[in-house]
Structure 1
Amino acid sequence: MMLEDYRIYGDVLVFDTTYRTNRYNLICAPFVGINNHWHNCMFACTFIRDEKTESFVWLLETFKKAMEDKTPTSIFTNQDQAMANAIERVLPNTRHRLCIWHLEQNAITRFGALKKDKEFKYAFNQCLKGCVTEQEFEEKWQAMMQKYDLTTHSWYKRVYELKEKWCPALSRDFFSARILSSQRSESTNHAIGFKASKATTLIEFNTTFKKTTNRWRSTKKYDEFTCSKLIAFTSLPLSGMLKHAAQVKGYTQKDFEEEFGYSMATTIQMIGRTEECVFYQVSLEDKPWSAHQVNYIHESQCVWCTCKHFEASGWLRYHCIRIIHLHSVTRILDKYVTKRWTKFAKIEAWNRLKNQDPTQPYMPWSQTMMKNYYNLILKSQENKETRAFMEESFRNSPKLVEDLLDTAAQREEGAEVASDIPDVADNTQSNNDVSSASSTSINVPTILDPKRAVTKGRSKRAKGGL
């Protein structure tokens, strides 16, 4: 299920290690995404002993292999250099974004005497997430540095060097599903770790983890059912665009309705035109500083806005909706309907299950056989003869399986091949003979608790009497 979710919603990944640890101080680090109902979905979860570059490299390579080598478009992490090094090595084509929430928390500890200055905090927040263009960001950042004499401050210089990773104005060309911080991962921490403490064992955590993911999937099923049966209703007149939004998006109609309502509260001004394109300036009536330029192409009915909201989130913002509505377009163009946000996001997965060949062995068979063999091994481990029999059977089984597969392949090709597969009964008798003569002794290992790990920021995360 996690792999199916990652195939559809794996374009954005949130990976964070600032979580509560367990009895052994191991670090819990979930891989979290966002589904088409704007809820958390779990892709994977890991425990690691340390936060070194090599550990993160191994972890990301293992995750990538498990997810069929598909890499996300954007990945959000905290400000950890070891993690950044690992992402650069394993996911070189993925856009690495820093969590603004963590950046804000780190900044508070660096404000010093400026912590009580409201004007400075406002200016810093504007640089952090209030700029639309790169020019606007540069002007505000340099003005803040000059006004508060921070040009030589090492921390602010370091943050400025990383601006490509956290400044929204410099990252609007990359899809990020409107995540400006790892709030998704923070909410996962509360959802998974609410029962965890310094006394929690790995088995107890696993039980809590499975209950959490099952609860998320139950919510997902309810959302899918609701959006498939819901009748479109809106407080606004049900225009063609709203009807189409309800048809293709269902559950997201409320979000689209909100943007549509904002579009009706905007003022527009035509600032130029060519034979193919018309240029508008759109802004909210009470917020003239929110103005954006929107270009409309007549022939294709396409729009482009300086806010680049669609490129970053897959949603049309009210600037574009206003211009589309102005030109009497009653349907949302297919290119502006991002499938991962629609109620048809999992249609390929459902069709794949529906069209599955019933003659093919179903995947859970392997799980059933592993369980049966495991139970047989546990039952046999206390007796020397049964252990020897199991070992000899395993040594002979690969040869039998290969012979059966070769015979089946030859039969399919129409070749007349004499069957020389060893008789299973004779083999069983042979195994009994070997087991009676064998006296191999196997020592069952004692599994000890893992050693406590020493992690970064342990004193900050740890609570209680540790």
Structure 2
Amino acid sequence: MDPGFFCKYTVDENKRLGNLFWTDSISRFDYSCFGDVLAFDSTYKINAYQKPLVILVGTNHHHRTTVFGFGLLKDETLDTYTWLLETFLSAMNNKKPLSIITDCDKVIRQAIKKILPESTHRFCSWHVERNAQENVQDEQFIESFKDCMLNHMTPEEFEQQWMTLVEKFGLQDNDWVNKMYKKRDLWAESFLRGQFFAGMHSSQLCQSMNSYLNCFLQSRLKMFEFVRQIDKAVSWIRYNEAKDDFESSSIPVLSTHLERLEKHAVQIYTRNVFYMVRSEIQDETLLIVSGCANEVDRRVYTLTKFRNAHMRWIVVYWRKDHRIQCSCKGFETVGLPCSHSFSVMKAEHLLSIPDNLILRRWTKDAKDSKDLAVNSCQSPNDFIEMLRFAALTADCRKLCFYASKTSEGYRKAKMEIYQLTRRMEESSKIKGGSISSVGFSERRSSIVSDPARKPRTEIHN
């Protein structure tokens, strides 16, 4: 019944399952909204066949895990990862992510270079830290290394701090340290700042998803039960998204010194993201405007921090359209206005956050289906149908969340859904679009049992 369900697999020379990838309409719709950052790893092998399970995830408008698809792989070779990425892009209408976060696996890196050369690839900071612990067993070094990895420094400051670090711990001849230095543009914040990662610096979403699946999976599950349990886990994640939508509809108590800007933020951002923005507003109290230069069409502010005068940021404000750009590159990296931008908003007496600092993917309207007709003009008809299905499913999830709160709500929603379904079914038949459940069953069984099918099979409907 899902017009956007997508599945593709391979079989080996013994006619056994090789690789398997699957996703559904909602995941494909979520990717169209939040597919700017992709994270995945293949360290999870809880199934009877010990096949690596790859969970491809991102972060939604509530800054929570959203699932884009799953892959069960026969091995972890370059050809297999290449197949996975090609299949994933095929399912997602060939939309490529801006950024990708993975573990430090060399083969994954090669596959990304081959299939997604324009995407910015980043090593998961958690995996990098774990490798550091294994190769340099010194807690003081680990803390200093983490500071080098995650601290917001200029590349020049990083180079100086790295040299000091290596000399302090006598690691000039350590092979792992030297190899990681050559790959510093893949893990050091100094070289990745300004690339959009939606606030992510590790594949912790995959790790949390793995832990989440432990509640549903057992190590000896056969394939059919395994996939069904994964589906239950995903359904629960989507229920929690409906809960987040519900909580975002209420207005928390305003508590900062920039009340008008805070009020605007709570109106446009989801609850979890608003808390992140509010933290930036609170941090603004420690900033001091140390200089302001008037130019033809803009003002250039210099900011310092209370009791940290050596820290400086340059923020440019364009008077005509109220655009703001900060040298910290916080907006380019996370997609949210930084504390320095709020300092300039205060200096300019702005009552709302400028449009150029509002990224739609963090707003309450991030999954608004009204834009589907515009966004999908150049898309194939089956992809448009999939988007409609997923958008309607998301809207119905909100309805079900509210209706399930009371017996009367449940009864009324049940009746309305039944009546509307009947009307839509009749309308579909009149227009010649009747759906055959028998045909679906026949397709499904042929996929499983027909040995004469080609090694690679793709199902769209």
User: What is the TM-score normalised by the length of structure 1?
Assistant: 0.74
Give the aligned residue type for 1:170: F
- The residue that corresponds to 2:397 in the other structure is none
Alignment match of 1:235 (pick from 251, 255, 270): 255
Please state whether the residue corresponding to 1:246 is helix, strand or coil.
helix
**CA–CA separation in structure 1 for the residues paired with 2:245 and 2:160:** 46
CA contact under 8 A between 2:258 and 2:281: conserved in structure 1?
no
Superimposed CA distance per residue, residues 350-391 of structure 1 (whole angstroms, 9 cap, x where no aligned partner): 7654999x766899966724334369989xxxxxxxxxxxxx
* Identity fraction in percent: 27
**CA–CA separation in structure 1 for the residues paired with 2:339 and 2:64:** 23
- The residue that corresponds to 2:130 in the other structure is 105
Kindly report the root-mean-square deviation, in angstroms, between the aligned alpha carbons of the 2 structures.
Answer: 3.0
Number of residue pairs matched by the alignment: 376
- The residue that corresponds to 1:412 in the other structure is none
Alignment match of 1:122 (pick from 120, 125, 143): 143
- The residue that corresponds to 1:256 in the other structure is 277
- The residue that corresponds to 2:36 in the other structure is 11
Superimposed CA distance per residue, residues 62-83 of structure 1 (whole angstroms, 9 cap, x where no aligned partner): 0110110001000100001111
- The residue that corresponds to 1:29 in the other structure is 54
Give the aligned residue type for 1:370: G
1:61–1:209 Cα change, 3 Å: same
Superimposed CA distance per residue, residues 366-422 of structure 1 (whole angstroms, 9 cap, x where no aligned partner): 6724334369989xxxxxxxxxxxxxxxxxxxxxxxxxxxxxxxxxxxxxxxxxxxx
**1:265 Cα shift?**
2.9
- The residue that corresponds to 2:5 in the other structure is none
In the alignment, structure 1 residue 170 sits paired with structure 2 residue 196? no
- The residue that corresponds to 1:75 in the other structure is 100
Superimposed CA distance per residue, residues 141-166 of structure 1 (whole angstroms, 9 cap, x where no aligned partner): 12222333323322112111111111
**CA–CA separation in structure 2 for the residues paired with 1:38 and 1:206:** 26
**CA–CA separation in structure 2 for the residues paired with 1:283 and 1:198:** 55
By relative contact order (CA 8 Å, sep 6+), the higher-ranking structure is: 2
Please state whether the residue corresponding to 1:181 is helix, strand or coil.
coil
CA contact under 8 A between 2:245 and 2:270: conserved in structure 1?
no
User: What is the TM-score normalised by the length of structure 2?
Assistant: 0.74
- The residue that corresponds to 2:350 in the other structure is 329
CA contact under 8 A between 1:132 and 1:307: conserved in structure 2?
no
Give the aligned residue type for 2:344: I
**CA–CA separation in structure 1 for the residues paired with 2:432 and 2:87:** 22
**1:295 Cα shift?**
2.6
- The residue that corresponds to 1:45 in the other structure is 70
CA contact under 8 A between 1:17 and 1:29: conserved in structure 2?
yes
Q: Which has the larger radius of gyration?
A: 1
**CA–CA separation in structure 2 for the residues paired with 1:318 and 1:312:** 14
Superimposed CA distance per residue, residues 310-352 of structure 1 (whole angstroms, 9 cap, x where no aligned partner): 0011101111111111110111111111001001111136765
1:200–1:125 Cα change, 3 Å: same
Alignment match of 1:65 (pick from 85, 90, 105): 90
Relative to its length, the structure with more strand (as a share) is 2
1:237–1:141 Cα change, 3 Å: closer
Please state whether the residue corresponding to 2:331 is helix, strand or coil.
helix
CA contact under 8 A between 2:199 and 2:334: conserved in structure 1?
yes
**CA–CA separation in structure 2 for the residues paired with 1:43 and 1:233:** 34
Please state whether the residue corresponding to 2:58 is helix, strand or coil.
strand
Please state whether the residue corresponding to 1:146 is helix, strand or coil.
helix
Which runs of 5 or more structure 2 residues have no equivalent in the other structure? 1-25, 374-387, 393-423, 452-461
- The residue that corresponds to 1:455 in the other structure is none
- The residue that corresponds to 1:209 in the other structure is 230
Which runs of 5 or more structure 1 residues have no equivalent in the other structure? 379-442, 446-466
Please state whether the residue corresponding to 1:36 is helix, strand or coil.
coil
In the alignment, structure 1 residue 140 sits paired with structure 2 residue 161? yes
Tell me which moved more, 23-32 or 283-292.
283-292
* Equivalences for residues 60-459 of structure 1 within 5 A: 60-112=85-137, 115-116=138-139, 118=140, 120-228=141-249, 230-231=250-251, 233-236=253-256, 239-251=259-271, 252-270=273-291, 272-288=293-309, 290-348=311-369, 353=388, 368-373=437-442
1:124–1:232 Cα change, 3 Å: closer
CA contact under 8 A between 2:40 and 2:101: conserved in structure 1?
yes
Tell me which moved more, 234-243 or 37-46.
234-243
Give the aligned residue type for 1:255: M
1:333–1:375 Cα change, 3 Å: closer
**CA–CA separation in structure 2 for the residues paired with 1:26 and 1:260:** 47
CA contact under 8 A between 1:4 and 1:349: conserved in structure 2?
no
Superimposed CA distance per residue, residues 163-204 of structure 1 (whole angstroms, 9 cap, x where no aligned partner): 111111111221100101111111111111344343232223
CA contact under 8 A between 2:270 and 2:362: conserved in structure 1?
no
